[in-house]
Amino acid sequence: MKTTVMSIATQIKSEADAYAYMESLRWPDGPICPHCGSVEKHYFLKPRSGTARKTRTGSETQRRLWKCKTCRKQFSVITGTVIHGTKVPLHTWLMVVFEMCANKNGIAAREIERKYGVAPKTAWFMTQRLREAIQTRAPEKLLSGTVVADKTWIGGEPKNRHGHKSGKGGQGQTDKTPIVSLVDKSTGEVRSQIVANVTGKTLRSVIAENCAMERTTLHTDSSSAYDTVASECAGREAVNHSEGEYVRGNISTNACENFFSQLKRSIDGTHHHVSREHLGRYLAEFDFRHTTRELSDSARMEVLMGRVGERRLVYGG
Residue-wise pLDDT tens digits, 94-146: 999 999 999 999 999 999 999 999 999 999 999 999 998 898 665 568 999 99
Give residue 124's domain range. 5-134+298-305
Distance separating alpha carbons of residues 118 and 92, to the nearest angstrom: 9
Does 283 reside within a domain?
A: no
Distance separating alpha carbons of residues 228 and 21, to the nearest angstrom: 50
Confidence of residue 220 (pLDDT cuts 50, 70, 90): very high
125 and 149 part of one domain: no
Lowest mean pLDDT across 52-66, 96-110, 211-225: 52-66
The predicted pLDDT at position 126 comes to 94
Does 293 reside within a domain?
A: no
Does 280 reside within a domain?
A: no
Asked if 62 and 19 count as a contact pair (C-beta separation under 8 A), the reply is yes
Asked if 175 and 158 count as a contact pair (C-beta separation under 8 A), the reply is yes
Looking at the 3D structure of the chain, how many domains does it have?
2
Does 77 reside within a domain?
A: yes
Q: Which amino acid makes up residue 2?
A: K
Distance separating alpha carbons of residues 90 and 96, to the nearest angstrom: 10
Distance separating alpha carbons of residues 161 and 31, to the nearest angstrom: 53
315 half-sphere exposure, CB direction, 13 A CA radius: 7
Does 288 reside within a domain?
A: no
195 and 80 part of one domain: no
